[in-house]
């Protein structure tokens, strides 16, 4: 069976990325499992509070904590995890040409930090089937505290 794919078009007239389309492709299960295991291990080692049962749920459990949890990590641990997420993202300049890998630095097709965060949240949703912000938590995966304090749940 093919990997799930999601097309995300940025719709924000105030953004330099307005109208840009990105193609997100699900990681293979073994890669997603290993990514989540590394993220949980790094978070645990950094002293982050991991909700009970979240580690056993893999990528879905990680979605409960949200992308913001990653920013508790040291840079040398965080960067490979963030980079690996963006291996799943391609920029679609137009439908006549193959989507392009996301470039780094000055050549990046993404001009807004908010777009990068949105794409990361969309990747979590693609991998888990539910929104990291709006997920209805099962009793086995209830977090000890609000994973995104101050942000509205939609």
Regarding pTM above 0.85, the answer is: no
- pLDDT, one tens digit per residue, over 126-142 is 988 765 444 433 333 34
Distance CA 35, CA 14 (A): 33
Is residue 148, in this structure, part of any structural domain at all? no
Is residue 151, in this structure, part of any structural domain at all? no
Pairing state of beta strands 100-101 and 89-92?
antiparallel
Is residue 64, in this structure, part of any structural domain at all? yes
Q: Which residues pair with 101 in a beta bridge?
A: 90
Distance CA 154, CA 26 (A): 23
| pLDDT of the residue at 62 | 65
Distance CA 100, CA 122 (A): 18
Distance CA 135, CA 139 (A): 12
Q: Do residues 137 and 15 lie in contact, with contact meaning Cβ atoms separated by under 8 Å?
A: no
Is residue 130, in this structure, part of any structural domain at all? yes
Residue 154 has pLDDT above 60, yes or no: no
Is residue 150, in this structure, part of any structural domain at all? no
- pLDDT, one tens digit per residue, over 82-136 is 999 999 999 999 889 999 999 999 999 999 999 999 999 899 889 887 654 444 3
Radius of gyration of the chain (CA): 16
Q: State the total domains in the chain.
A: 1
Coil/strand/helix, residue 7: strand
Is residue 153, in this structure, part of any structural domain at all? no
Confidence of residue 20 (pLDDT cuts 50, 70, 90): very high
Q: Which residues pair with 26 in a beta bridge?
A: none
- pLDDT, one tens digit per residue, over 29-68 is 999 989 888 988 888 888 877 777 776 776 776 666 666 7
The more confidently predicted of residues 21 and 138 is 21
């Amino acid at each position: 069976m093919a990997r799930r794919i999601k097309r995300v078009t940025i719709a924000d007239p105030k953004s330099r990325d307005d109208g840009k389309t990105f193609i997100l492709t699900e990681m293979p299960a073994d890669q997603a499992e290993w990514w989540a295991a590394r993220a949980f291990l790094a978070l645990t080692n950094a002293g982050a509070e991991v909700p009970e049962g979240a580690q056993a749920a893999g990528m879905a459990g990680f979605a409960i904590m949200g992308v913001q949890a990653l920013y508790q990590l040291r840079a040398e641990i965080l960067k490979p995890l963030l980079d690996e997420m963006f291996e799943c993202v391609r920029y679609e300049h137009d439908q006549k040409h193959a989507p392009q890998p996301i470039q780094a630095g000055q050549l990046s097709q993404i001009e807004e930090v908010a777009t990068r965060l949105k794409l990361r949240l969309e990747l979590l949703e693609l991998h888990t089937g539910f929104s990291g912000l709006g997920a209805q938590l099962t009793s086995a995966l209830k977090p000890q505290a609000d994973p995104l304090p101050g942000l509205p749940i939609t």
